[in-house]
Structure 1
Amino acid sequence: MISTETLDLLEWHRLCQNLSTFAATKLGVVAASHLKLPTTQIESEKLLAQTKEIYNLEQELDSGWTFKGIHDVGGSLERVGIGGLLSAKELLDLATTLAGVRYLRRLIDRQREILPTLEELVSDIRTYPEIEQEIHHCIDDRGEITDRANPKLAGIRSEIKSLRERIYKTLQNIMQRNSTAIQEAVITQRSDRFVLSVKPAQKETIKGIVHDVSSTGSTYYIEPNAIVQLGNQLRQKERQEKREEEIILKALSEKVGEVQEDLERVLAVATILDLATARARYGLWLEANPPKFIDLDKEETITLRRLHHPLLVWQQRHESGMEVVPIDVLVKPETKVVAITGPNTGGKTVTLKTMGLAALMAKAGMFVPAKEPVEIPWFDVVLADIGDEQSLQQSLSTFSGHIRRISRIIAALQPENIRSSLVLLDEVGAGTDPAEGSALAIALLKHLAEHSLLTIATTHYGELKALKYQDERFENASVEFDDNTLQPTYRLLWGIPGRSNALTIAQRLGLDSKIVEEAQSLVGTGSSYDVNEVIAALEAQRREQEAKATEAGKLLEKTERFYSEVSAKASSLQEREQALKVFQEKAVTDAIADAKKEIAKVIRQLQQGDRTMQKTQQATEAIDRITAQELAKTQPPKTAKPGYKPHVGEKVRIPRLNQTGEVLSIDETTEQLTVRFGIMKINVGLTEIESLDGQKADVKPKAKATTKTTPAKSKKPGVMVRTSKNTLDIRGSRVNNAEMEIDNAIAHAIESGVLWIIHGKGTGRLREGVHEYLKSHSQVDKFELAEQKEGGSGVTVVHIK
């Protein structure tokens, strides 16, 4: 249990009011203003999961998570539960609420994988779209019952309209005939009856019933006798209309009453969602982070770095308050009591309240305004003695008030709460004789070290500073004071006890300097003066270490920035190298493609003319020339080391093509090699290849030719029009068996660029199978039936890419 007294001391209700401003509905505002704290850690973790999921959902959606149309219909549901009649406006609010909750459920369902807690929350609610539709059928957006709700109601309203028109028409005729008697030419109502405003002197002119007289007596409001009967009929029809409307509202109210419990569940879920949304939006506004509940028994440290007081943040942003100075709270698992010392007005009390509010916010499923990671135990009990409980009415001094409140704290620390209690004590032992007060404070803190999970106490007693060196369960902390500006910095320092600086502050506040000097001389005679000197030296050393840490942080930041720049430049160089490689490969591909086009052109010319040996030789020379020209466009070969001799089956590089291939055969006489790369074969000279490690092949010195060689023998074989190498006979084969033969023949006929396939005429099935296979072959440019003299439909000519 967390006492109301502690919540008041920590100003928890102010924080709840701040939270309520982030709620979207009246339901959420009320729930946030009277926020109930969970009683178990499991419940707190569930609330925290809801907050996280909505926080992440809103970050992802940007917009769309809205509570539009959701109203507080709790009172209406209570009334309809006991047979009450709902108004049209109340029914309309209920219908829009059902639609609003259904919209939120659809958003959650669409992302159920990342919203397990919210999905579980909305999974069992029923929003009754049929009731919503019936309400909208009977009630329009203005909250009025429509004519379509009931045919009888529509007929009555039609009669009412007709009667009104007759009354207006009759009154207008009367006004026209008796214009001198009319005070103001308007038709008005008195006691739900239509009347005319008549001058007092002319009241006998218009016979009828006087329903009212103006306060000055200058106007009589008369219902002419000519419309009295019509007015009576109108009143009767209006009563009938009212009865029919009540019948419609009663029917709708009964339908709502039948599912009252389900609708109350819908309303409760809407409230939970709005409250979780308020927590998420408040956390975003505070720049807070989700806490993690830790177990001190598992040697985990309480970690709250740059912890801000949430109420001071609100004050700073909304009321132009002072800048909020964050504190660092790092409590080791073995620490049970933290004694905070330091000067008055230094922020000791604010530190207690900040810690207490952080524990309550985490418990309530809220984000904590601290830097990640936020690690804090789950406190079942938070108890505080903060401020002065002095009371003249109860004859309580400051000391008596503190003792009474501390007694209530001790009584609240029942055995079952020992391992989960947080106790906050302000100026422990103050208000009485210093010697007795310090002794009482030491005894109290030792008792709390045994009976509470964590106690944080502020004090001025120097004796409490020494407890750390006697008992490892105690730790010192202090609020920093700047000796140069004579101002507190509100920073919390750990491991160093604080100095009271009472004399320095007293002098700053205007106390006579002679008195301060006299007091300083008296302090100097005691041992506490030496202790203060030691503390001052420790504080100076700490400031020096912090300055060095700041410089180291800046240096680390520069190093990380330099590393990022170097990494970016390295990535850029890699991208440029890759782009250059792609460009070179494209250049080679383009050169090969151009060469193929030119070679195909030469072959076509050869096919169209007479196939003489001379023309064949000319075609071969033209092909060699084209190949040399296109290969010259690619990058020049790299310089390589001599002394290398290739072997059949070895991998070699062809620098001019920027390709790596396998040596298929070597002609020692002509120093020519057949190299295959991919599905292509090419004849190259020894001078055109090199080993993979860059060695150049040995070339024998050429002897002087004694005899002339024919041109055909000095060059690699040219492309023949039709030879046994580029002709494949598959007559009598099956299509499946022929495919492999065709594939091998295409690979061997790549140099010639054309392949003749003899399949015969027969039934034509083999020809169709061959053509079907050629359509999907990656190396086939096109194919066609041969000329009649070449075999006609029994032969297919294949043009290879």
Structure 2
Amino acid sequence: MNARILTTLGFDKVKQMLAQYIVTAQGLEEVEQLAPINDALTIQAWLEETEDGLKIQRLRGGIPIPKLENIRPHMKRIEIGADLNGLELAQVGRVLSTTSEVIRFFNDLEDSEIELLRLYSWIEQLVVLPELSRRLKESIDEDGRVTDEASEDLKIIRNNIRKSEQTIREQLDGIVRGKNAKYLSDSIVTMRNERYVIPVKQEYKSVFGGVVHDQSSSGQTLFIEPKQIVELNNRLRQHQIAERNEIERILSELSAELVPHRNDILHNAYVIGKFDFANAKARFGKELKAVVPEISKENDIYFKQARHPLLDQEKAVPNDIMIGQDYQAIVITGPNTGGKTITLKTLGLLQLMGQSGLPIPAGEESRMGIFDEVFADIGDEQSIEQSLSTFSSHMTNIVSVLEKVDNHSLVLFDELGAGTDPQEGAALAISILDALGSKSAYVMATTHYPELKVYGYNRAGTINASMEFDVDTLSPTYRLLIGVPGRSNAFEISKRLGLDQTIIDEAKHIMDGESQDLNEMIADLENRRKMAETEYLEVRHYVDESERLYKELKEAYAYFFDEREKEMAKARKKANHLVSEAEEQAADIISDIRKMQLTSGNQGGVKEHQLIDAKTKLSQLHQEETRLEKNKVLKKAKEQKQLKAGDEVIVNTYGQRGTLIRKTSAQEWQVQLGILKMAVNESDMTPVAPEKEPKQRVTAVRSSQSSHVPNQLDLRGKRYEEALAEVDQYLDAAILAGYPQVTIVHGKGTGALRTGITEYLKNHRSVSGFEFAPGNQGGNGATIVKFK
């Protein structure tokens, strides 16, 4: 990829934004080396790492990586036998400890069954050096200071230093607070040449004796080491020299321990840099609300709701940019300041970012292509040094592009053919586009020339586009309109700004007729587009609503199915339990019958009434499954069937047909069963039609009206009690007929009947709701009743 395009489209600025999220020196190198490539497999791997980084950022807030310095120079120094200082060893130790932390972090992700595409493979390349890491951690602190635990000798030496310093301070404190304090310039203890001294007035220097180490700028104060602490300072100095020698020995020893592992440590730093880079891409993507694009095998681009990454994302107007599927060239026409150049740069920059493995500020399901080269001629590149005009400069760039372009190139031209005579410029622009089209290059070009609007209609694989302009507000909306060429808004703007209508009309007459027709055609296209967009949004609303309802219905059906299965399972379990109990009781009854059969011997077998009693016990095992006492409809239907002497019934207990003789009590009848007469409860018998003598079959035609229930009940003119009774019977009949709703006409009148019916309907168990009829169907003079 040519380096010039990276600067032209602002890719370097994107890298600067990305670098803000880097915390390691190795990660910064990754950013500095970042550039778009054209190898599909490598790009896919980079994008998958970015996808992993975004996923970890979303789930865990990112990979825990601290600030790490570049340790490559340190490893080179120990390779040639040099020793590292404490700060350098601390930086190496931080790399080793970070390695362990990162491995623990990814092990936790794996234990949580979080799937990643690429980053787990990088973890396998890390080498843990626990002993070396522990040694560095206990010997060197974060600031590079060698700790007391680095060696036993160092701990003893430092204890001696602390004791010596304490003794010296006690001695000097006795001087500055004692009777000789009057000879001091100040009651403090200080240091000169790494030895403890006190400030003495110049005229009393002989009072304390000892060694003069320094004097003040005025000469009035001498910094003297009193003779009684000279030996103590000498001893302290010896301890300090021993400390320095021991520290040098420890640093040398630790540096030597690093040598066998220098390649592993360097590779760990490299892998951590990769993780830091993935972290930075994820944070960058989160800031821009970016996504990882798919790679199109057909090399067609679809950047959904794309935004330029260098603009304020809250203010940037998103646009759908498509090229490569239905057309390979887009010609954007229209006036300046509409956003044509930004749209051009957005396409190019997002493509470069995608080919660098970066997330792009666009919507989900965005697709990118892969190009060997991206060329651009954007902006005023007039060269004073080369004595080139604007047109000459652009043409020089275009010539260079045409020499290198092929079918794997993306070409971006801003104001193609500008800077010269309009007719010649338009003709050149058309020829250049034809030349690029013959090489099957992908092209997006902006222009002012109206001739290119016709070009966009006539050329295969080419489409017009424009940036929307709001004539009412006299401002651009920055929305890209694919398929609609730009039009001049000069007449509309002039009119809104107050230019006389006669002048505008005269200008329209002077204007070329074809241009006028073209503008009118474009205006009509824009109107149709707006209408289509409005209808699309309305349809989209209903589609979304339908999808929501479908989802809710699907969930409700799944819930119903699950509940039904649960209830069925409960019922089967309960039924099996009842059957088991019934089988046990039946076995006992059959056993009793057998015993009676055996005990009867030759005395005529089991008596009829004994068999009937046994059968009665069996029938009593049957349990009522559903209680319908409260069902008013069935209750009324049952009341309508009055039993009387002579009726034939089936006695349920024995399963035999019998004839009613007489009623013995409120609920019992005497029934003739064959040669037997028995007392049977009404609840244990079912009325049946009497058996008829066989006769010739006659088919009777019965009017459907005889059993028809009307869907409307008219109560006008009826009394209150009579009307409510009729409503009660009518609703029961309508429910049996399976009607979802009926209409009750009660009239308006005084409102008493309407109020009574309303109160009745509120308390009816089978009514799900009711409302007054529409105005054209009676209004509040009729009520529509809906059943459950």
Q: 1:94 aligns with which of 92, 95, 98?
A: 92
Question: Is the 1:197–1:220 Cα contact (8 Å) retained in structure 2?
Answer: yes
Q: 1:326 aligns with which of 318, 322, 341?
A: 318
Question: Is the 1:127–1:263 Cα contact (8 Å) retained in structure 2?
Answer: no
Distance 1:106 1:350, change over 3 A: same
1:341 counterpart = 2:319: no
Q: 1:29 and 1:372 mapped to 2: Cα distance? A: 29
2:49 corresponding residue in structure 1: 50
Q: How large is the Cα RMSD of the aligned pairs?
A: 4.0
Distance 1:431 1:62, change over 3 A: same
1:236-265 Cα offsets, whole Å, 9 max, x none, are: 332232122112112222332443333222
Alignment of structure 1 residues 265-276 onto 2, 5 Å: 265-276=267-278
Q: 1:566 and 1:154 mapped to 2: Cα distance? A: 76
Residue 425 of structure 2 aligns to a residue whose secondary structure is helix
Alignment of structure 1 residues 183-332 onto 2, 5 Å: 183-215=185-217, 217=219, 219-296=221-298, 301-312=300-311, 315-317=312-314, 323-332=315-324
Q: 1:283 and 1:582 mapped to 2: Cα distance? A: 52
Alignment of structure 1 residues 560-571 onto 2, 5 Å: 560-571=547-558
TM normalised by structure 1 equals: 0.70
1:593-637 Cα offsets, whole Å, 9 max, x none, are: 88899999999xxxxxxxx99xxx9x9999999877674464369
1:74-118 Cα offsets, whole Å, 9 max, x none, are: 443344344443222221221122221233234445639933522
Alignment of structure 1 residues 455-534 onto 2, 5 Å: 455-502=443-490, 504=492, 517=504, 520-521=507-508, 524-534=511-521
Distance 1:701 1:541, change over 3 A: farther
Q: 1:411 and 1:225 mapped to 2: Cα distance? A: 90
Distance 1:504 1:91, change over 3 A: farther
Residue 488 of structure 1 aligns to a residue whose secondary structure is strand
Q: What amino acid sits opposite 1:220 in the alignment?
A: L
Question: Is the 2:471–2:489 Cα contact (8 Å) retained in structure 1?
Answer: no
Distance 1:440 1:213, change over 3 A: same
Q: 1:76 aligns with which of 74, 77, 85?
A: 74
1:122 counterpart = 2:113: no
Question: Is the 1:421–1:454 Cα contact (8 Å) retained in structure 2?
Answer: yes
Residue 304 of structure 1 aligns to a residue whose secondary structure is strand
1:21 counterpart = 2:20: yes
Q: 1:140 and 1:533 mapped to 2: Cα distance? A: 78
Residue 178 of structure 1 aligns to a residue whose secondary structure is helix
Q: 2:273 and 2:143 mapped to 1: Cα distance? A: 25
Residue 203 of structure 1 aligns to a residue whose secondary structure is helix
What is the Cα deviation at residue 345 of structure 1?
1.1
2:531 corresponding residue in structure 1: 544
1:715 corresponding residue in structure 2: none
Q: 1:620 and 1:196 mapped to 2: Cα distance? A: 130
Q: 2:656 and 2:200 mapped to 1: Cα distance? A: 128
Question: Is the 1:303–1:376 Cα contact (8 Å) retained in structure 2?
Answer: yes
What is the Cα deviation at residue 153 of structure 1?
2.8
1:537-567 Cα offsets, whole Å, 9 max, x none, are: 1111111111111111112122223333444
Q: 2:136 and 2:613 mapped to 1: Cα distance? A: 91
Q: 1:295 and 1:361 mapped to 2: Cα distance? A: 18
Distance 1:587 1:262, change over 3 A: closer
Q: What amino acid sits opposite 1:48 in the alignment?
A: L
1:302-355 Cα offsets, whole Å, 9 max, x none, are: 32221122222xx245xxxxx221111222446332211122111110100110
2:163 corresponding residue in structure 1: 162
Q: 1:568 and 1:126 mapped to 2: Cα distance? A: 50
Distance 1:6 1:228, change over 3 A: same
2:399 corresponding residue in structure 1: 407
Distance 1:122 1:569, change over 3 A: closer
What is the Cα deviation at residue 158 of structure 1?
3.4
Question: Is the 1:181–1:198 Cα contact (8 Å) retained in structure 2?
Answer: yes
Q: What amino acid sits opposite 2:63 in the alignment?
A: W
Q: What amino acid sits opposite 1:47 in the alignment?
A: W
Alignment of structure 1 residues 708-727 onto 2, 5 Å: none
Q: What amino acid sits opposite 2:265 in the alignment?
A: L
Q: What amino acid sits opposite 2:168 in the alignment?
A: I
What is the Cα deviation at residue 196 of structure 1?
0.9
Distance 1:215 1:264, change over 3 A: same
Q: 2:400 and 2:656 mapped to 1: Cα distance? A: 102
Q: 1:250 and 1:355 mapped to 2: Cα distance? A: 56
**Which ranges in structure 1 are unaligned for 5 or more consecutive residues?**
318-322, 604-611, 639-670, 674-683, 689-699, 708-801
Residue 240 of structure 1 aligns to a residue whose secondary structure is helix
1:2 corresponding residue in structure 2: 2
1:732 corresponding residue in structure 2: none
Q: 2:370 and 2:118 mapped to 1: Cα distance? A: 20
1:648 corresponding residue in structure 2: none
Q: 2:45 and 2:115 mapped to 1: Cα distance? A: 15
What is the Cα deviation at residue 18 of structure 1?
2.1
Aligned residues between the structures: 628
1:682-734 Cα offsets, whole Å, 9 max, x none, are: xx96589xxxxxxxxxxx99311499xxxxxxxxxxxxxxxxxxxxxxxxxxx
Question: Is the 1:301–1:332 Cα contact (8 Å) retained in structure 2?
Answer: yes
1:561-593 Cα offsets, whole Å, 9 max, x none, are: 333344444445545545654565566567678
Question: Is the 2:63–2:279 Cα contact (8 Å) retained in structure 1?
Answer: no
Q: What amino acid sits opposite 1:288 in the alignment?
A: A
Residue 419 of structure 2 aligns to a residue whose secondary structure is coil
Residue 372 of structure 1 aligns to a residue whose secondary structure is coil
Distance 1:623 1:687, change over 3 A: closer
Distance 1:580 1:252, change over 3 A: closer
Question: Is the 2:374–2:411 Cα contact (8 Å) retained in structure 1?
Answer: yes
TM normalised by structure 2 equals: 0.71
Q: 2:275 and 2:506 mapped to 1: Cα distance? A: 61
Identity %: 33
Q: 1:703 aligns with which of 674, 688, 713?
A: 674
Q: 2:422 and 2:327 mapped to 1: Cα distance? A: 26
Residue 486 of structure 2 aligns to a residue whose secondary structure is coil
Q: 2:442 and 2:266 mapped to 1: Cα distance? A: 41
What is the Cα deviation at residue 452 of structure 1?
5.7
Q: 2:453 and 2:506 mapped to 1: Cα distance? A: 22
Residue 365 of structure 2 aligns to a residue whose secondary structure is strand
What is the Cα deviation at residue 218 of structure 1?
5.3
Residue 536 of structure 2 aligns to a residue whose secondary structure is helix
Distance 1:293 1:602, change over 3 A: closer
2:736 corresponding residue in structure 1: none
Distance 1:464 1:69, change over 3 A: closer
Q: What amino acid sits opposite 1:702 in the alignment?
A: L
Question: Is the 1:69–1:97 Cα contact (8 Å) retained in structure 2?
Answer: no
1:444 corresponding residue in structure 2: 432
Q: 1:171 and 1:601 mapped to 2: Cα distance? A: 114
Residue 267 of structure 2 aligns to a residue whose secondary structure is helix
Question: Is the 2:302–2:322 Cα contact (8 Å) retained in structure 1?
Answer: yes
Q: 2:449 and 2:465 mapped to 1: Cα distance? A: 13
Q: 2:118 and 2:49 mapped to 1: Cα distance? A: 6
